[in-house]
Amino acid sequence: MTETTQPSRRITILREEVARKIAAGEVIDRPFSVVRELLDNSLDAGAGNLEISLKAGGLASVQVLDDGQGMSAEDLQICTHRHATSKIREEEDLYRTRTLGFRGEALAAVAACSRLEIVSLTEGALHANRLRVEGGRTEALEACRGAKGTRVEVNDLFFNLPVRRRFLKSAAAETAACRRILLDKALAFPEAGFRFFTDGRLKFFFPPADLKARICAAFSLEAAHMEIVSGEGEGFQLTLIAARPELARRDRRLLRIYVNRRRIEEYRLIQALEYSYADFMPGGRFPVCFAFLEVEGELVDFNIHPAKKEARFRDPDALRRAIRELLSGYLAAFSGGPRSAAAAPDSAGSSSGAGTGGFFPAQGFRPGSQPPWPGGEENAYVRLPRPRKPQENEAGPPPAGPLYRGQLFRLFLLAEYGQRLFIIDQHAAHERLIYDRLKSRRSSVQELLFPMRFETTAEQAALLEQRREFLTEHLGIGLVRREESVFEILSLPEEMISLEEDVLREALLTEESGLEELAHRLYDLAACRMAVKEGEELDDETAAGLVRAAFTLEQARCPHGRPLWVEISREELLKRVARI
């Protein structure tokens, strides 16, 4: 053992009783899990700069270099033992710790299945030390030269577990997985710099930045398209980096949740993000939004998943409500109503200034800064057109109100309003009107001639019982329990009368949706069901009424987010026939 001026040992081996309290499970199964654990350790050590290098996708070697607090020789000596950690001592610490790691298992697991080398230097020590472990056996611990911080090199992963090794993917697939993990960490720790090398070549470098700048850099997003909104609740803080609603994607990949700097796959919270944007997203399009929660230790438990990908919250609903509230505040500015149009900051490059708003949808890939790596699947953004209403200050006489000019293709209603032609999707517009009427509870409730009766299992009965009060009081769905497992619907809002029994039943019994989502779903079903369809011929009076009503809407989008109309200005038409 070498001497140092700092013989302090921070790491201890957890007592058996404490170790038993820790969620067990495989920590290391592929190169990316090595990357994840090593990055966590560097970040826990307070690193301001991290360098990650892979050889052959990490199959040959994974190396992580940091400038954190380092380890003394004493610490190096035991850091690869099971349950060796400097982060917790007692069981209570499990609930208090803010570090990413606390199980004391990662280095032990890595050491057991690789050729591991760690070089580390602590502040004020005379020299660095190097530890070498092969397949779990310590080979050497000796003094050496080194810079402050720690370099961990993991060579020949699973060299002693040939079967495991055979199940690894190609170097390219492993590299991609490592890159994803690295991005996850880089987003959570924007104040740290990250460099990523593969086979000796620098793939990307994120200099220390603030949260929004880091996100923009990581996904080639433009700062002008992203907004920071934040708020506070009982025991938690929430920061959202939210994209303007015109920025949509074909997948949910940029809907992300972080809690206490850990990315978690919490479906309900991701859903809360998604639903908040629902009014703006056509089917198959998903918004871009990142939620960062800081939750007090007692209100969240990460000790349920070995890789801490899940968390258990004391009050998940409070978090979901907070997300929806914050986002609806932000998104209100985009809803297209005459009041809100002024409030919405105009999007750079949107077509609204040119007066073609939405007629030639500016869909397609978002141009922008060079992505930090090639093969930009992360860059599949779609720009959605934003519907707008005629503005008071537009040229021409003040509009008297929309004038209905006829039906087209048995689908579109043509309206003249101000100096513009509106081509309105009759189904979508009607849908939105019905949806809004249900939502604002302006609809009248009707007694059913024949109650809808249905039988349930015990679990379904319990679920319905929980929802009964909400359904009756908020949605006007008069649900009563007849027997242990028999329920009846006695009344419905008039817009829901024509919903089929099994559709209604299925919606009411869908388990994973919260009350708000349940309401959304029912309104949605009813609106779609009751609205005039494509192919229906409308008499003039009905059509004109629909057109007038459409222009009173707050949201010029159908409940699924599609725009209700396209519009084209008189000037535009004149240009098209070369009159001007």
Applying CB under 6 A, the residues found at the interface with ligand ADP are 10-11, 37, 41-42, 44-45, 66, 68-71, 79, 84-87, 101-108, 150
Residue closer to ligand ADP, measured from CB, 66 or 436: 66
Q: How far is CA 278 from CA 293, 378, 435, 556, in A?
A: 22, 21, 13, 13
Distance CA 86, CA 79 (A): 9
Residue closer to Mg ion, measured from CB, 236 or 302: 302
Q: Which two tokens stand for residue 210?
A: 């603030």
Distance CA 212, CA 290 (A): 10
Q: Does 493 bind Mg ion (CB under 5 A)?
A: no
Q: Does 43 bind Mg ion (CB under 5 A)?
A: no
Distance CA 316, CA 267 (A): 11
Q: What is the DSSP string of 139-199?
A: EEEEEE---SEEEEEEESTTTT-HHHHHT---HHHHHHHHHHHHHHHHHH-TTSEEEEEET
Residue closer to ligand ADP, measured from CB, 35 or 527: 35
User: Candidates 94-102, 448-456, 483-491, 498-506 — which segment interacts with Mg ion by CB under 5 A?
Assistant: 94-102
Nearest approach, Cβ of 19 to ligand ADP (angstroms)? Answer: 11
Helix %, strand %, coil % of the chain (to 5): 35, 25, 40
Residue closer to ligand ADP, measured from CB, 154 or 530: 154
Residue closer to ligand ADP, measured from CB, 86 or 407: 86
User: Candidates 98-106, 262-270, 512-520, 564-572 — which segment interacts with Mg ion by CB under 5 A?
Assistant: 98-106
Judged by beta carbon distances under 5 to 8 A according to partner kind, the member of Mg ion, ligand ADP, none in contact with residue 68 is: ligand ADP
Distance CA 507, CA 519 (A): 9
Nearest approach, Cβ of 173 to Mg ion (angstroms)? Answer: 25
Q: Which two tokens stand for residue 80?
A: 């690869």
Judged by beta carbon distances under 5 to 8 A according to partner kind, the member of Mg ion, ligand ADP, none in contact with residue 461 is: none
Residue closer to Mg ion, measured from CB, 87 or 179: 87
Residue closer to ligand ADP, measured from CB, 76 or 499: 76
Q: Does 41 bind Mg ion (CB under 5 A)?
A: yes
Judged by beta carbon distances under 5 to 8 A according to partner kind, the member of Mg ion, ligand ADP, none in contact with residue 103 is: ligand ADP
Question: Smallest Cα–Cα separation from 266: which of 334, 323, 198, 226?
Answer: 323
Q: Which two tokens stand for residue 484?
A: 């242990």
Nearest approach, Cβ of 110 to ligand ADP (angstroms)? Answer: 8
Secondary structure of 240-285 as H, E, C letters: EEEECCCEEECCCCCEEEEECCEEECCHHHHHHHHHHCHHHCCCCC
Residue 288: alpha-carbon gap to chain centroid: 7
Nearest approach, Cβ of 179 to ligand ADP (angstroms)? Answer: 20
Angle between helix axes 426-439 and 540-550 (nearest 10 degrees) is 60
Residue closer to ligand ADP, measured from CB, 37 or 51: 37
Nearest approach, Cβ of 147 to Mg ion (angstroms)? Answer: 21
Q: Contact with Mg ion (CB under 5 A): which of 106, 238, 327, 543?
A: 106
Judged by beta carbon distances under 5 to 8 A according to partner kind, the member of ligand ADP, Mg ion, none in contact with residue 86 is: ligand ADP
Residue closer to ligand ADP, measured from CB, 303 or 351: 303
Judged by beta carbon distances under 5 to 8 A according to partner kind, the member of ligand ADP, Mg ion, none in contact with residue 71 is: ligand ADP
Judged by beta carbon distances under 5 to 8 A according to partner kind, the member of Mg ion, ligand ADP, none in contact with residue 153 is: none
Judged by beta carbon distances under 5 to 8 A according to partner kind, the member of ligand ADP, Mg ion, none in contact with residue 423 is: none
Q: What is the DSSP string of 297-338?
A: GGGEE-TTSTT----EES-HHHHHHHHHHHHHHHHGGGS--H
Contact between 425 and 558 under an 8 Å Cβ cutoff? The reply is yes
Residues 6+ apart with CB under 8 A from 523: 434, 435, 438, 439, 559
Contact between 348 and 377 under an 8 Å Cβ cutoff? The reply is no
Q: Which two tokens stand for residue 236?
A: 């938690």
Nearest approach, Cβ of 180 to ligand ADP (angstroms)? Answer: 20
Judged by beta carbon distances under 5 to 8 A according to partner kind, the member of Mg ion, ligand ADP, none in contact with residue 84 is: ligand ADP
Judged by beta carbon distances under 5 to 8 A according to partner kind, the member of ligand ADP, Mg ion, none in contact with residue 11 is: ligand ADP
Question: Binding residues for Mg ion, per CB under 5 A?
Answer: 40-41, 101, 106
